[in-house]
Amino acid sequence: MNEESYCSKIEVRKSCLQQRAALGEQERSNKSFLIRKKLEDLPEFKTAQTVMLFLNFRDEVETTASAEAVVACKKKLILPRCAPKGILLPLKVSNLAVDLEPGAWGIREPKLTNEEVNPLEIDLVVVPGAGFDLQGNRLGYGGGFYDRFFPRLKSLTPRVALGFECQIIDQVPVDKHDVKMTKLVTEKMVYDFGKIANQ
């Protein structure tokens, strides 16, 4: 990544996160509920037997209820744990009350004693992000954890991002290692990038 692109990402990320943080707690909760319903109505969600989610942190889209829904539907719930060298560990979670602990940044993560799952078994991965555009690009938080993880999935495994409409921008600054999303779910609609993402 060249220096200009790196600086651009930092500035855009900061702006997107400021937009998200400006949402009030009640507004964020209401919009998260709408996003949750859209996510759980997706055919990809309904048919998936092994679902990888993230647990929300700070002012991200709230996802705990969706994680509980995956367990309640007898699907296999996978949650990420950040490991050294930018590695994301996909760990199975059977009980949200028992299997989690605070991670390095205070993010709820699966305990290391949980079973690690082969990424090739994952039928759907749901990811967070700082910003998004309508070409399927996602701006992460700068650690590159998901971009390193995506190539370990089956090539056609859906990558569904969750975000608020206020996080959508005209153009996310991208690099060659950045992976496009299959869909973006916001409180207003589901954006489908399937054909773009699989090119």
> Would you state the structure tokens that stand for residue 50, as one six-digit string?
């092994």
DSSP SS3 for 189? coil
**Residue 11 assigned to a binding site:** yes
Give the N- to C-terminal CA distance of the chain in Å, as an integer: 22
**Residue 191 assigned to a binding site:** no
**Residue 60 assigned to a binding site:** yes
**Residue 36 assigned to a binding site:** no
Q: Which amino acid belongs to residue 42?
A: L
**Residue 146 assigned to a binding site:** yes
Contact 107, 141 (CB under 8 A): no
**Residue 9 assigned to a binding site:** yes
**Residue 131 assigned to a binding site:** no
**Residue 138 assigned to a binding site:** yes
24-57 b/e (C-beta count within 10 Å ≥ 16 → b): eeeebeebbebbbebbeebebbeebebbbbbbbe
**Residue 139 assigned to a binding site:** yes
**Residue 10 assigned to a binding site:** yes
Tell me the binding residues: 9-13, 55, 60, 138-146
Tell me the binding residues for substrate: 55, 60
Tell me the binding residues for ATP: 9-13, 138-146
